Structure 1
Amino acid sequence: MNTSNFPCFFSIFFTVFFIARSSRIADVHSSPKHVALFVFGDSFFDSGNNNFLNTTRGYRANFMPYGETFFKYPTGRFSNGRLVPDFIADYANLPLIPSYLDPRTKRYNYGVNFASGGGGVLVETHRGFVIDLGTQLRYFKKVERSIRKKLGRCRARRLLSNSVYLFGIGGNDYIAPFEGSPVLKKYTKTEYVNMVIGNATKMLEEIYKKGGRKFVVAAVAPIGCTPNTRVKTGRQYGRCWDEPSALARLHNQLLPIALQKLANKLKGFKYTVADTYTVLQNRIDNPSKYGNPPNNILHLS
């Protein structure tokens, strides 16, 4: 993933703040406005969790050329530089949000990143190789207990309610049916997409019960046009694979409806949907407009 244009991509997340209005680095014990950023997702957001899994090379980014531009070494990010959560943290004057599985991560004052490259909402998606969303939620609950133990119930509740919960997941669930899974023989496309969204919104509701109130949910990207997907399909060089992207588009149509139902149900639940699909598709279709060379594989369709 080339991140040279990610500041433009990142601009769609400015509605998050939420963070910007209340976050300036301050000691968690002294600032009632202290904010943390908790990140859930897949390879678009994974800051290195997969480095600490007993998984295959295909699910890791701990080798060059990953990380070559900003960090100058592979960090486990599926990128040559920073990812969207890194830009958000920088914008909000937060430190880089650490990976949960990194043994060096001891404090959660400013949040933690649970994302896992290849991860999905459904536990069946790449089972045994990655961290599914349900497991990411269980990790979050462990963090919540740790924060509550350290700060006390009231302070912990205030921190969690002020914080932002960033989600970017679902794409792998829509690739899986075309990698040998028979799931679309059991469900219609709409039923399958509603199952993915239903499981995801249940996770958001669980975080709400722990005090979370502010959620940013990224739409699923045009996954049939990612370099990895194009290469895996063995299709004509550079050609997009529309079937997964069609599921992504259906997901993106139904997601805001589900989130609004959740907002109607849960008092104080706030959310924004980042239109990742349109932002990335524009860059694929009009590469030179965003400073990319016209012969890049990303924009051959």
Structure 2
Amino acid sequence: MEHSIGDESNGNVEREYISTSQENPEQDSSFDETDKLLEKRLLAAAANGQLKIVQGLIIAEVNVNAQDTNKDTALHLACFMSQTSEDNHAKIVRYLISKGANVNAENNDKCTPWFAASERDNVDMVRYMAENGAEVICEDCLLKLLTVASQKHCENVKKYLKEMLFYVSGAEQSKQKLLKIAIRLGHINAVRYLVSKGAVVEGEDNEDKSSLFIACKSGHSEIVKYLIEESGCNINIRNMYGQTPVMIASRKGHLAIVNYLLEKGCSVAERSNDGVTLAESGRKNLTDYRNFFHGFFILKFIL
């Protein structure tokens, strides 16, 4: 059996042949060892930006989705190392995808190549992978990406992740997921856009994941006002725990939202399934040091 390997030192793909015993392959352990060696070389070449070597190894039918001990694939490594849309790593990314690399492969940290590209603030690669099958209609995925982008000051990717909400025209389920994400991010223009495209602001509730609950929990008062005044959300809607939006806002210490909901006439006599009233919901904040002052003023306002 022969494997060909590209040599990056030459402008053309040169062939280096590694032969294994063909007389009795069932008794020759070097067969598997050689494949593993070539997979390691593929991973190293992808990380080092050695395009010709990567091409030679893929031509030699080395597994394009081979993983290292952290379950990173060649695509993970190339995405992480790419800094521009035209460097060798970016070319490797495009080549690997054209050869069937799994754009949604997860490593041991549950990160996909898309995460790797976002960490480098490489918006061109993030966009390219989204256009080539990367799963982006996923709340946890987008929020994690935005968190990573924010922590690492990846302003280009951060801007892209927010702007991409404007260009969704897919399935209804996708619109609903993106609506929730837009609300949690506090992106009012994206919320308006998605609603105009048919996203439903009130539907079957699961825990406290309906639009108004998400806005109250996240503390985005502008979106709360939009949902009530322009989208007709029920101000006294209950979640599966019997809680109302004002209870959620109170527990999270969002005084401005509590004040607004009370002015709009929300019920203050309601009790959750476990018997907790709005006043008691605000009182619970007093046990949380981070929300102490919010809890104090909310309790004072209610009582």
TM-score, normalization by structure 1: 0.26
Larger Rg, first or second structure (1 or 2)? 2
Larger strand percent? 1
TM-score, normalization by structure 2: 0.26
